[in-house]
Amino acid sequence: MESASKTKYIFVTGGVTSSLGKGIISASLAKLLQARGYSVTIQKLDPYINIDPGTLNPYEHGECYVTDDGAETDLDLGHYERFLNTTTSQANNVTTGRIYQSVINKERKGEYLGETVQVVPHITDEIKHCIKILGETKNYDFVITEIGGTVGDIESLPYIEAIRQLKYELGKDSLVIHLTLVPYLSAAKELKTKPTQHSVKTMLEHGVQPDVLVCRTEKNLNQSLKDKIALFCNVDTSSVIESIDTSSIYKVPLLMKDEELDKVVLKKLNLDPHKKPDLSNWKIFLHRLENPKSIVHIGLVGKYVELVDAYKSIIESLIHSGTNNECEVKLKLIHSEQINEKNIKGKLKDLSGIIVAPGFGDRGIDGKILTAEYARKNKIPFFGICLGMQCAVVEFARNVLKLKDAHSTEMNKNTSHPVIDIMEEQKKVSVKGGTMRLGAYQCDIDPKSKTFSIYNQKHISERHRHRYEFNNNYLDDFEKMGMKASGINPDAHLVEIVEIVDHPWFVGVQFHPEYKSTVANPHPLFNSFVKASLNFINK
């Protein structure tokens, strides 16, 4: 193992536009440093006022990613975990809302008694504390802090100011990577550096000189362009790193290695840049990703299909498991609101496996329930995740147990058969933020179930995010008719996994396996589901 004598802090900021992929660049650099033996963590600071993204609509913010410790976080944390195969926690995602909440709580307790509480130094001190706490408590060699948003935004200002102060305090133990866009103007047939120059000027106005520029581009930057950017932005040419568009986010670590981003960073932080990163397993993964032996068509039924970010972790998990099965998963996103009894066959007939997505509220619920019925009757591999599992339970109750108006009380409070019901401890909850059943819970698997043969383990831990749960009053009836509870929480006796015994692959999980799939460790349920889908085509 390599080790840096002191924690080094790397700040990643963005300029010109949002969506340049700061999260992927941060995760890729972290991967390269980890592959050299360093311990690395990545943190995201989000400049919005929500305490966390848990209360945000997926249309606003994409998926809400959940950590083991039950933090509802930005989806970039999913990338960090998937790239590094290490877990993140509440401390890895901080928002302006959380910063202000903490400062205001301190003010009320009298901790600043007599002082005027101000953005500088109180808010900036709190930001600096949230950054340094990761290095101080866990002794990481590197803490990479990604600042959400774009420099120049009003709401980013306190963060850039905190970085200015930290750079001054930490000196050679810190650096700033600024990610910008070098657009190609097709009419002029030219790449343009001006937006990058302006973006660096904005940083300079706030007193921060970026040390490394990562330039996102759709065409290669030639040497003279790199020289020009270096000249105008006060960096050496070797610190101008090209980040060209690529077909897979998983190629970015290798692109960054070719561009020597890791070496430049190590040199600037006075660490040895000579040792080569060991990326052998990563390369095996990429080789398999790029050379699939077959194709499998899987459908994802949800209500946010126009927005792939809403299902980011599920989509990535399928990429990991497709690669694990040496096949390409061609994913068809199907809008649950557009599924009805008449068209369902047309929409689902070419699929070898179907996932019903997690979600909240009743929009599109009937399409999800119909999908579960179609997969059950046609023996198509079916994977219901959280709300998807609940839909499978409702469908089974209605059509197999013949409980005609069975439903979840989330959708119908007055159902005579609440087969999915609000959890006891949720009944008293009225506050929305951070109050669901969140984070990792234990689950015991029945050794006689199919699920056991998938996990090969009796005790597992998976991450949750829900308020409703299988109603145990109905469990015997379900089991008699062939839907079995194959995973139970040992403390609360909640049903966490159901399976249909007489079906090639029909599993519903109350938890979110997609939060735990990584490149190094694709999730066993996704692996097995993709394998079953491959078998379905072969048949």
Enumerate binding residues for ligand GLN (CB under 6 A): 358-360, 386-387, 410, 465-468
Least spacing, CB of residue 368 vs ligand GLN, in Å: 10
**Is 512 an active-site residue?**
yes
Least spacing, CB of residue 375 vs ligand GLN, in Å: 18
Q: 192 and 203 in contact (C-beta within 8 Å)?
A: no
How many C-beta atoms surround the C-beta of residue 280 within 10 A?
9
Least spacing, CB of residue 409 vs ligand GLN, in Å: 10
**Among the options 417, 503, 512, 523, which is catalytic?**
512
Q: What are the DSSP calls for 254-310, one per residue?
A: HHHHHTTHHHHHHHHTT----SPP--HHHHHHHHHHHS-SEEEEEEEEES-TT-GGG
**Among the options 316, 407, 514, 523, which is catalytic?**
514
Nearer to ligand GLN, 167 or 407 (CB): 407
Least spacing, CB of residue 380 vs ligand GLN, in Å: 21
Least spacing, CB of residue 445 vs ligand GLN, in Å: 21
How many C-beta atoms surround the C-beta of residue 246 within 10 A?
13
Least spacing, CB of residue 440 vs ligand GLN, in Å: 15
**Among the options 386, 395, 462, 499, which is catalytic?**
386
Nearer to ligand GLN, 410 or 499 (CB): 410
Q: 103 and 126 in contact (C-beta within 8 Å)?
A: yes
Residue 463 pairs with which residues in a beta bridge? 440
- Would you give the end-to-end CA distance of the chain in angstroms? 48
Q: 368 and 390 in contact (C-beta within 8 Å)?
A: no
Nearer to ligand GLN, 250 or 468 (CB): 468
In the chain, how many H helices and how many E strands?
Answer: 18, 23
Nearer to ligand GLN, 5 or 430 (CB): 430
State CA 434 to chain mean position distance: 17
Which residues are CB-neighbours of 303 under 8 A, at least 6 positions away? 335, 336, 337, 357, 359, 363, 364
> Which two three-digit tokens encode residue 121?
């130094």
Nearer to ligand GLN, 394 or 483 (CB): 394
**d(Cα 270, Cα 260) in Å, to the nearest integer?**
15
Least spacing, CB of residue 249 vs ligand GLN, in Å: 24
Q: 241 and 261 in contact (C-beta within 8 Å)?
A: yes
Nearer to ligand GLN, 9 or 382 (CB): 382
Nearest Cα residue to 136 out of 216, 31, 41: 41
Least spacing, CB of residue 362 vs ligand GLN, in Å: 10
**Is 386 an active-site residue?**
yes
Nearer to ligand GLN, 253 or 418 (CB): 418
Calculate Rg over the CA atoms of the chain.
25
* HSE-up (13 A, CA, CB side) for residue 294: 13
Three-class secondary structure assignment of 340-376: CCCCHHHHHCCCCEEEECCCCCCCCHHHHHHHHHHHH
Q: 238 and 223 in contact (C-beta within 8 Å)?
A: no
Residue 295 pairs with which residues in a beta bridge? 328
**Is 218 an active-site residue?**
no
Q: 224 and 193 in contact (C-beta within 8 Å)?
A: no
Q: 292 and 524 in contact (C-beta within 8 Å)?
A: no
Nearer to ligand GLN, 387 or 419 (CB): 387
By annotation, the residues acting in catalysis are 386, 512, 514
